[in-house]
Amino acid sequence: MTVDRQPTILATSGGLIRGNRTEVAFGPLLHYALDLSGAAHPKLAYLGTAMGDDSARGLRMIEAGRSVGVPVDLLNLFPMPNVDDLEDYLLSHDVIWVGGGSVANLLALWRLHGLDLALRRAWQAGVVLGGVSAGSLCWHQGGTTDSFSPELSLITNGLAFLPYSNGVHYDSEPRRRPLFRQLIAQGLLSDGYATEDGTGLVFRGTTLVEAVTEVKGKLAYSVQRRGTEVDEQPLETRPLAGG
């Protein structure tokens, strides 16, 4: 269990890097999620729902955790939940990390199984919630997604633990930034925050407390509607050790 009981979310466009002896490794962002838990020996639960609980991805996460002495457990929903009590399971971990993929499918399945409610209770209890891409969007009100087709579209049925919109892959996918700005300008998305690849946003409760990066020079942004225009401001983005 976590030491710091304040609800905490680390929403990112990063977290995993190429490993030296493993296919993937925990990057500075994921290590920071573990640090935020305050646990001396943190336990991590990985949710790969957005990619259909792909077993290969899950095994890579376990291997990456083992290489740094962090136990990683998989919470799967396919073909059925692999634990009896979702809430107890989540509460037995210090960090919950959500992988990327289809945020639309992720949200539908979480709600179908009541995992959305279990995650809210874990967040309120102080378990650190984190993730990349779909695992960042899910905690917000909405954002842009390629869940429905190769063309990006609007999604507005996020869990809304955080009362903002969220833009991911802000620098690596050319259509993300202009569409995110356009949707906010039109009032279809609420004011929000965006992350370039390798950056993350730390929220305590629903307050943004810092932006961090594991890639030198990368930034996060505040994006707000001003009449019919958009005011986009880079946030002071702190480099993480090892980045």
Which one is catalytic: 133, 147, 165, 190? 133
Decide the pairing of beta strands 153-155 and 165-167: unpaired
Contacts of 163 (CB under 8 A, 6+ apart): 141, 190, 206
Distance in angstroms (rounded) separating the CA atoms of residues 83 and 61 = 19
Asked if 93 is an active-site residue, the reply is: no
Asked if 67 is an active-site residue, the reply is: no
Distance in angstroms (rounded) separating the CA atoms of residues 53 and 97 = 13
H or E stretch covering 121: helix 115-125
How many helices (DSSP H) and strands (DSSP E) are in the chain? Answer: 7, 16
Q: Which residues pair with 211 in a beta bridge?
A: 201, 237
Residue 55 token pair: 């077993």
Which one is catalytic: 31, 93, 140, 169? 169
Distance in angstroms (rounded) separating the CA atoms of residues 58 and 76 = 9
Catalytic positions, please?
133, 169
